[in-house]
Amino acid sequence: MSFNWCFIGTGQIAKKVAKELVTNPGHAIVSVFNRTKAKAEKFAKTYNSTVYESALDAINDPRVDGVYIATTNETHFSFAKLCLENHKPVLCEKPITGNTKELKELIKISKENNTFLKEAMWTWFNPVANKVRQWIKEERIGKILSVDCIFNMPIFGYNRAKGRYINPSRYGGALLDLGVYSVRYVYELFGKPKAITSRGKLYNGIDLFNDSIFEYGGFKAHVSSQINRLVGEHCIIKGEKGTIKVPLFHMASKAVLKTKEGKEVFRDKKKKFATQFRVVAEYINGEQENKLVSLDSSVEVMELMDEIRKQIGVIFPCD
Ligand SMILES: NC(=O)c1ccc[n+]([C@@H]2O[C@H](COP(=O)([O-])OP(=O)(O)OC[C@H]3O[C@@H](n4cnc5c(N)ncnc54)[C@H](OP(=O)(O)O)[C@@H]3O)[C@@H](O)[C@H]2O)c1
């Protein structure tokens, strides 16, 4: 299948995914826009793409089948809106927007223009996360007793100078950057909780740390993320009949199921960004049913994140 992508943004994630994307047979990056043109030109050289002066010109390159938005969080809404109004299918980096209000507005525009929109929540286009969900559904560990899902990376220290992580007007903070994965993981496995209790540590109006208990009636899930300490990343699910452990769950290459019967390890070594782009291209082309990372699920995750922010006192200009 041939599929031509337009890239808006050529920062670190764009560079990382581009390398994998072009390993998909038939996939190419034909057009590029970046705020700083020199960086777009450097990027475009590698992929033989055309650089445009504006995002509008880039998405309207007649060869473009879909647009990938890889700019910073606070710009997702306006770039996605531009694409949808111009009938260009969109795959937008996480978090798809700053809050539910922005996301619902995008979904409205997407419906009015009958144009595809999807959050690039790559974890859930990949087999490991979906295998874990299958184990839970099949009740391989029986009645759930507890869940611990944490994602911590000291990006505050590494990128302090950059500022976007610690700026509420840029939709910064641990929750929107890392927590979007831990909230999504627990949501995909167990749905919306009955209640949430959250606490956080704020700095400059953003959360360096957030820590929530999701109440599921029968068990609790501990869902946490932080950008100021390296505590690690895992999801551990304990049940009456066993345990599931997923190290580095957002990019997991393996999940381990332990029960009385023994140990089962599910591994997936495939390129995870490549898989996401292949699946999304097939959805856009109508070659398979558009199932994973639905817009409804993005709305529900965004509602959970809005609630956590409300409880810990993080406010964005879009609120
Ligand atoms: N899926 C993943 O694993 C993953 C990993 C990391 C990040 N992300 C997400 O990807 C997005 C980008 O993150 P990153 O780490 O790649 O950031 P980055 O390296 O800082 O790159 C940011 C990009 O956004 C552009 N940009 C910034 N402000 C802009 C503005 N006001 N208008 C237009 N363009 C603007 C930058 O353009 P200039 O070159 O002109 O500065 C650059 O292209 C974020 O939403 C982040 O949450 C996803």
pLDDT band at residue 154 under the 50/70/90 scheme:
confident
Supply the pLDDT for residue 171: 97
Question: What is the rounded average pLDDT of the residues 215-232?
Answer: 93
Angle at 315 between CA 7 and CA 181, to 5 degrees: 50
Confidence of residue 317 (pLDDT cuts 50, 70, 90): very high
**Is the C-beta atom of 13 inside 6 A of ligand 1?**
yes
Average pLDDT, the chain: 96
Residue 237 half-sphere exposure toward CB, CA atoms < 13 A: 25
The pLDDT confidence band at residue 66, using thresholds 50, 70 and 90, is: very high
Distance CA 117, CA 302 (A): 15
Per-residue pLDDT tens digits for 261-312:
999 999 999 999 999 999 999 999 999 999 999 999 999 999 999 999 999 9
Domain at 3-122: CATH code:
3.40.50.720
Closest CA to 184 of 296, 43, 300, 50: 300
Quick one: DSSP state of residue 93?
Answer: P
Going from the Cα of 69 to the center of ligand 1, the distance in angstroms, rounded, reads 9
Largest CA distance in the chain: 61
Domains 3-122 and 123-312 equal at CATH topology level: no
3-state secondary structure of 265: strand
Confidence of residue 75 (pLDDT cuts 50, 70, 90): very high
The pair of structure tokens assigned to 110 is 């997407």
Output the six-digit token pair for 174: 């641990």
If you measure from the C-alpha of residue 101 to the centroid of ligand 1, how many angstroms do you get, rounded to a whole number?
22
pLDDT at res. 293: 98
CB 41 less than 6 A from any atom of ligand 1:
no
Q: What pLDDT does 254 receive?
A: 97
Question: Distance between CA 95 and CA 160 in Å, rounded?
Answer: 20
- Residue whose token pair is 């995750």: 301
11 ligand 1 Cβ < 6 A: yes
Residue ranges covered by each domain of the chain: 3-122, 123-312
Q: Which of 222, 256, 231 is nearest to 145 (CA)?
A: 222
Q: Distance (Å, rounded) from C-alpha 257 to C-alpha 236?
A: 10
**Which residues are paired to 95 by β-bridges?**
none
**Which pLDDT score is estimated for 162?**
65
Rounded to an integer, the average pLDDT of 244-271 is: 96
Torsional class of 74: left (φ above 0), alpha (ψ -120 to 50), beta (otherwise): alpha
Instruction: Give the pLDDT of residue 213.
Output: 98
Answer yes or no: is the C-beta of 39 below 6 A from any ligand 1 atom.
yes
Q: Which fold has domain 123-312?
A: Dihydrodipicolinate Reductase; domain 2 (3.30.360)
Taking only the tens place, the pLDDT of each residue in 165-192 is 889 999 999 999 999 999 999 999 999 9
Chain centroid to CA 12: 15
Q: Is 70 in the pocket of ligand 1 (CB under 6 A)?
A: yes
**Model confidence at 160, in pLDDT bands (50, 70, 90)?**
low
Quick one: average pLDDT of 222-245? 95
CA–CA dist 124, 262 (Å, integer): 26
pLDDT value at 89 more than 80: yes
